[in-house]
């Protein structure tokens, strides 16, 4: 797990306002494939994963919050070995048999990709910090 960030102590309103410059949950290395901010809310991504293989990593600022996804090894993850983070805190995600994805904050509403699950979570959270997975 990433270390506790200052972000998690902020109030919801402050979290919306303060966006950039947070440390990545991973040490370093993976490229920021789509590092620019997306102000739109398209949920039909151009990075739909398919039934074969793990989806690619992503890293962007969406509605003022940093969302990241990357393949992980082992652990308690049920997203086919894929981890998603919002402002550095892991969001529990899960891959369905048909290749769609859900997260613990939107658990009954499948979306096409882990990036779409992360964006849906940002919308649902309305600035609130995630609780660290236990």
Partner 1 sequence: MTVRKNQATLTADEKRRLVAALVELKRNGRYDAFVTTHNAFIMGDTDTGARTGHRSPSFLPWHRRFLIEFERALQSVDSSVALPYWDWTADRSPRSSLWAPDFLGGTGRSLDGRVLDGPFAASTGNWPLTVRVDGRTYLRRSLGGGGRDLPTRAEVDSVLAMSTYDMAPWNSASDGFRNHLEGWRGVNLHNRVHVWVGGQMATGVSPNDPVFWLHHAYVDKLWAEWQRRHPGSGYLPTGGTPDVVDLKEPMRPWNDVRPADLLDHRAYYTFDTD
Instruction: Examine residue 129 and tell whether it contacts partner 1 (CB under 8 A).
Output: yes
Q: Which helix (H) or strand (E) holds 86?
A: strand 82-86
In the bound state with partner 1, the residue whose beta carbon lies nearer, of 48 and 78, is: 78
Lookup: tokens for 101: 């994805």
CB of 30 to partner 1, least distance (A): 25
Among 57, 61, 94, 118, indicate the residue that binds partner 1 (CB under 8 A): 94
How many alpha carbons lie under 13 Å from residue 1 in its C-beta half-sphere? 12
Q: Rounded distance, CA 118 to CA 66, Å?
A: 10
CB of 124 to partner 1, least distance (A): 7
Among 6, 14, 75, 96, indicate the residue that binds partner 1 (CB under 8 A): 96
Among 92, 112, 113, 119, indicate the residue that binds partner 1 (CB under 8 A): 92
Q: In what order do the strands lie in the sheet with 101-103?
A: 93-95, 101-103, 106-111
In the bound state with partner 1, the residue whose beta carbon lies nearer, of 45 and 90, is: 90
If DSSP states are collapsed to H, E and C, what string results for 45-76? CCCCCCCCCCCCCEEEEECCEEEEEEECCCCC
Instruction: Examine residue 68 and tell whether it contacts partner 1 (CB under 8 A).
Output: no
What is the contact surface with partner 1 in residues (CB under 8 A)?
Answer: 8, 12, 78, 92, 94-98, 104-110, 124-126, 128-131
């Amino acid at each position: 797990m990433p270390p506790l960030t200052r972000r998690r102590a902020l109030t919801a309103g402050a979290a919306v306002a303060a966006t950039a410059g947070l440390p990545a949950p991973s040490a370093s290395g993976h490229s920021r494939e789509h590092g620019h901010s997306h102000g739109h809310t398209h949920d039909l991504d151009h990075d739909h994963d398919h039934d074969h293989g793990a989806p690619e990593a992503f890293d962007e600022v969406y509605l003022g919050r940093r969302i990241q996804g990357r393949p992980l090894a082992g652990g308690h993850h049920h997203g086919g070995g894929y981890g998603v983070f919002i402002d550095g805190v892991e969001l529990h995600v899960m891959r369905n048999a048909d290749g769609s994805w859900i997260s613990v904050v939107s658990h009954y509403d499948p979306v096409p990709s882990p990036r779409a699950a992360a964006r849906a979570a940002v919308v649902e959270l309305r600035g609130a910090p995630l609780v660290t997975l236990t």
